[in-house]
């Protein structure tokens, strides 16, 4: 099977080009489409067979639930039991990159919610995604459009390369504006819990929802035995080539050592200016939103380069910092003892 590739303007989508993908969604097909965060691979959330096909296509564990994308509050009520007290808070973030975990409606397929009594729901701000949902007339269950464990896809070309032989339609609309998945909060708990850090910051959320409990899973240092949402169990976001997390000072040391010339350094503009080995500039340390837009793209660039592996430093701070910490921790591997010894030698 070869996917039909549809090019569509992100800001002003040509609706006529989305009619066939929308029909496919409504009738059991699966479609790759751009959201403001990353590209998604979607199916009718009410259609268990279609949602099951997403799991098979991605090689995704069956206990890892999907996020259901809706056009707004009205459609959200068709997929979940949405308490009226949350609506004034949600409309401050919807449409946008916020996912909420709430009690599911029985109409949502068991496959989409991985057999749970809850469902993860969001209303995307991507004009293409919104037009596709409206035309299909159904809520769209969609995880990130990538093979399981691989970095999320933030551009149309990568979507075609990775999924072009596996899905029915791929809608191509350039690079995703945010580049990091939506933030996920659990509205079934008191206090509200942060399950996955993402493109809506914790600081913004706490202004509206009050104090939010930040789980170890959200920080990228733990896993949920029974995940309520994507990103809280299993290895994620990883390039095929090994990627090692080291300190900023260590990158500057090994980035100027010839023994590491066959590695790619994923680093800030400021660090890249201080090393001579090959680097991929993620953006300035003062612009974490810019770093986020480039992160997954850099992971995929690492796999395209003729290198042995890569090194990356942690980015921290308010706003996007927590999401970056989560993704980097999940994408990296422990530094092997031989490399660790060389780094230690340079540090002495």
Q: What's residue 219's pLDDT?
A: 76
- Average pLDDT for consecutive 10-residue bins of the chain (348 residues)? 95 98 98 98 98 96 95 97 95 98 97 97 98 98 93 96 96 96 96 95 97 86 60 68 95 96 97 97 96 96 96 91 93 93 85
Domains in the chain (CATH in brackets) are: 4-219 (3.90.870.10), 243-347 (3.40.50.11030)
Q: What's residue 228's pLDDT?
A: 63
Q: What's residue 216's pLDDT?
A: 82
Q: What's residue 222's pLDDT?
A: 62
Q: Determine if the pTM surpasses 0.75.
A: yes
Q: What's residue 217's pLDDT?
A: 80
Q: What's residue 221's pLDDT?
A: 72
Q: Which two tokens stand for residue 153?
A: 């896809």
């Amino acid at each position: 099977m070869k996917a039909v590739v549809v090019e569509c303007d992100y800001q002003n989508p040509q609706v006529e080009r989305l009619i066939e993908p929308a029909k496919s969604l409504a009738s059991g097909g699966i479609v790759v489409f751009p959201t403001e965060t990353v590209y998604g691979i979607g199916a009718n959330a009410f259609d268990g067979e279609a949602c099951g096909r997403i799991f098979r296509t991605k090689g995704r564990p069956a206990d890892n639930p999907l996020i259901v994308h809706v056009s707004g509050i009205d459609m959200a009520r068709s997929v979940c039991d949405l308490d009226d007290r949350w609506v004034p808070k949600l409309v401050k973030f919807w449409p946008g990159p916020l996912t909420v975990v709430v009690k599911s409606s029985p109409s949502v397929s068991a496959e989409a919610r991985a057999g749970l009594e809850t469902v993860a729901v969001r209303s995307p701000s991507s004009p293409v995604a919104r037009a596709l949902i409206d035309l299909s007339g159904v809520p769209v269950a969609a995880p990130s459009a990538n093979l399981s464990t691989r970095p999320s896809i933030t551009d149309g070309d990568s979507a075609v390369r990775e999924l072009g032989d596996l899905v029915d339609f791929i809608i191509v609309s350039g690079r995703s504006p945010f580049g990091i998945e939506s933030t996920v909060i659990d509205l079934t708990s008191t206090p509200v819990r942060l399950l996955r850090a993402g493109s809506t910051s914790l600081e913004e959320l706490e202004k509206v929802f009050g104090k939010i409990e930040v789980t170890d899973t959200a920080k990228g240092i733990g896993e949920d035995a029974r995940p309520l949402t994507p990103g809280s169990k299993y290895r994620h976001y990883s390039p095929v080539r090994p990627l090692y997390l080291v300190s900023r000072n260590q990158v500057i040391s090994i980035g100027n050592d010839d023994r590491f010339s066959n590695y790619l350094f994923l680093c800030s503009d400021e660090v890249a200016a201080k090393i001579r080995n090959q680097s991929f500039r993620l953006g300035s340390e003062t612009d974490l939103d810019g770093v986020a837009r480039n992160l997954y793209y850099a992971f995929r660039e690492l796999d395209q380069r003729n290198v042995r592996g890569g090194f990356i430093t942690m980015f921290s701070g308010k706003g996007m910092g927590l999401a970056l910490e989560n993704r980097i921790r999940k994408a990296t591997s422990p530094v092997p003892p031989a490399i660790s010894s060389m780094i230690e030698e340079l540090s002495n």
